[in-house]
C-alpha cells in the first residue's frame, strides 16, 4: 500500500460540479491524498460546464473524455469505453462518484469490473419511480459501491432494505449544502438581479424562479402545456424568472407554446448567478432534486412539479411541497405562498457545511492512511457504529 491515497473523482454534468467542488477543496487540504479528476464531458457547453469549473475554483481535469451528448445507452457505454483506459493507466486506490447522472453509473460499473474500490456520495436516495433514468443510476451505483455516504436517514433505511451492509454506510450530511454555504457570499456580489430588473441595490422585488427539465415533464406536449399554462396564470400576479434548459427550449418550440410576458426567459445561468436568484426568490417552481435541497437550506418555499421525490427530508423537514403537474394544484400552492401561507421548514440534521470534511477524513481512516476517527466531531460514523443516533 502506498503512503498516499490516490482518489480518482469523476464529474460529468452540472450537478456533479457543485457537489464535487467542496470534496476536491477538502482533499487538497490533506497531504495523504493524491487527487486525480476525470471530466467525462457529459455536459460540455460553456454554461453547463466550463464556467462552473471557473466559478467553483475546480482544478482543470487531469483527463477529459469529451463524450458529449447521446442516448442514455450510447452515452453510458461511451463513458465506460473511454474511462477504462484511464483507470487502467492510473490505477487509483479509490474511485469517488457523486449523484445520479450517467457519468456516475458508467464510472461505477467500470470501476467495479476492474475491482477498484468505489465510494458513492449521496447514496440511498430513492424516488421509487423506475421511469426516472436517475433512479436506475442510483440503484445500480449503490449496489456496486463499497462505501456509501448518505445525506438523510431515509436514505440509510433504503440502503439497509436493499441489503447493503451496515458497516459500509455513513451518515455525513450534504455536500450540496457545503457548496451553497461556501459560495453564497460570492453569489451576493452577482449583478443578475439588477440585470433582470428584480433588484435595485439591496432591495429586491418579489418574483418566482422556475426550472424545468425532466423528461417526464417536458417530453409530453400535454404535460408541458399544463405546467406552462399554470405558470402563465401565476405570472399574472408575480414575475417569473425562467432559465431555460436546452432540452426544454427544444420542447417549447416543438409544441409551439407561448409564455406570459411576465415570464422572463434567460439562457442557463452560471452557478453564482443562479444561487443569487434562488436565495432572493419569493418561491421556486422546480423538478430538480438539488434545488429542493438548496431551497430547504435557504428557507425558500419550493413547489416541486413532481409526484415524488428522492429527497423526502426536504418535504418532512424542509420547505418543499410536492404539487405535481396538475395546473390547479400548482396555481393554488403559488397563491398560498403569495398570501404568506408558507411552509415553515428547518435545516435537516448535519446539513451544516461540513459533509465534505467528514467524507474525506472517513476515507482516510477506512483506507488506513490515518488513525480511525470514530470520536472526532466532524467525521461521519458508520451505521454499525451508531444506529440509534446517526451522529458523529
Q: What amino acid positions are annotated as catalytic residues?
A: 213
H or E, element range at 96: strand 94-98
- Helices 175-187, 271-280: axis angle to 10 degrees equals 90
Cell of 170: 455513513
Cα Dmax for the chain:
64
Best CA proximity match to 146, nearest among 174, 177, 170, 175: 170
Long-range contacts, stretch 75-83, CB < 8 angstroms, 24+ apart: 75/42, 75/102, 75/106, 76/102, 76/105, 76/106, 77/106, 79/12, 79/40, 79/42, 79/103, 79/106, 79/107, 79/110, 80/106, 80/109, 80/110, 82/40, 83/10, 83/38, 83/40, 83/107, 83/110
Handedness of CA 119, 43, 77, 213 (dihedral sign): positive
Cβ count near 249 (within 10 Å): 15
Q: How far apart, in Å, are the Cα atoms of 384 and each of 65, 164, 388, 390, 392?
A: 38, 12, 10, 10, 12
- Cα distance between residue 124 and residue 130, in whole Å: 14
* DSSP string over 161-205: HTT--GGGEEE---HHHHHHHHHHHHHTT--HHHHTTSEETTEE-
Q: How do beta strands 240-243 and 302-304 pair?
A: unpaired
C-alpha pair distances (Å), 137 with each of 34, 73, 147, 190: 27, 12, 16, 34
Per-state percent for the chain, helix, strand, coil, to nearest 5: 45, 15, 40
Amino acid at each position: 500500500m502506498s503512503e498516499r491515497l490516490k482518489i480518482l473523482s469523476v464529474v460529468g454534468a452540472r450537478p456533479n460540479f457543485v457537489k464535487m467542488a467542496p470534496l476536491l477543496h477538502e482533499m487538497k487540504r490533506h497531504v495523504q491524498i493524491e487527487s486525480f479528476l476525470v471530466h467525462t464531458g457529459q455536459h460540455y457547453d460553456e454554461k453547463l460546464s466550463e464556467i462552473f469549473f471557473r466559478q467553483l475554483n475546480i482544478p482543470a481535469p487531469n483527463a477529459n473524455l469529451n463524450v458529449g451528448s447521446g442516448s442514455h445507452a450510447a452515452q453510458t457505454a461511451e463513458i465506460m469505453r473511454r474511462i477504462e483506459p484511464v483507470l487502467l493507466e492510473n490505477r487509483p486506490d479509490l474511485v469517488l462518484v457523486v449523484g445520479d447522472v450517467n457519468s456516475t453509473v458508467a464510472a461505477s460499473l467500470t470501476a467495479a469490473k476492474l475491482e477498484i474500490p468505489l465510494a458513492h456520495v449521496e447514496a440511498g436516495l430513492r424516488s421509487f419511480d423506475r421511469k426516472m433514468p436517475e433512479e436506475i443510476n442510483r440503484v445500480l451505483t449503490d449496489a456496486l459501491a463499497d462505501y456509501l455516504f448518505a445525506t438523510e436517514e431515509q436514505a440509510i433505511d433504503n440502503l439497509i432494505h436493499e441489503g447493503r451492509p451496515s458497516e459500509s454506510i455513513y451518515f455525513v450530511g450534504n455536500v450540496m449544502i457545503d457548496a451553497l454555504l461556501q459560495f453564497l457570499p460570492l453569489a451576493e456580489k452577482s449583478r443578475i438581479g439588477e440585470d433582470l430588473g428584480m433588484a435595485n441595490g439591496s432591495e429586491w422585488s418579489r418574483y418566482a424562479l422556475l426550472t424545468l427539465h425532466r423528461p417526464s415533464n417536458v417530453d409530453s406536449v400535454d404535460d408541458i402545456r399544463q405546467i406552462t399554462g399554470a405558470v402563465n396564470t401565476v405570472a399574472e400576479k408575480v414575475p417569473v424568472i425562467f432559465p431555460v434548459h436546452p432540452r426544454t427550449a427544444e420542447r417549447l418550440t416543438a409544441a409551439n407554446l407561448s409564455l406570459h410576458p411576465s415570464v422572463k426567459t434567460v439562457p442557463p445561468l452560471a452557478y453564482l448567478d443562479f444561487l443569487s436568484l434562488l436565495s432572493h426568490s419569493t418561491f421556486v417552481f422546480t423538478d430538480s432534486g438539488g434545488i429542493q435541497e438548496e431551497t430547504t437550506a435557504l428557507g425558500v418555499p419550493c413547489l416541486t412539479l413532481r409526484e415524488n421525490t428522492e429527497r423526502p427530508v426536504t418535504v418532512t423537514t424542509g420547505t418543499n411541497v410536492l404539487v405535481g403537474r396538475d395546473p390547479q394544484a400548482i396555481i393554488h400552492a403559488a397563491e398560498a405562498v403569495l398570501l404568506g401561507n408558507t411552509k415553515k421548514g428547518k435545516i435537516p440534521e448535519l446539513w451544516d457545511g461540513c459533509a465534505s470534511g467528514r467524507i474525506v477524513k472517513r476515507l482516510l481512516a477506512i483506507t488506513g492512511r490515518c488513525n480511525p476517527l470514530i470520536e472526532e466531531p466532524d467525521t461521519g460514523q458508520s451505521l454499525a457504529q451508531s444506529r440509534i443516533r446517526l451522529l458523529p
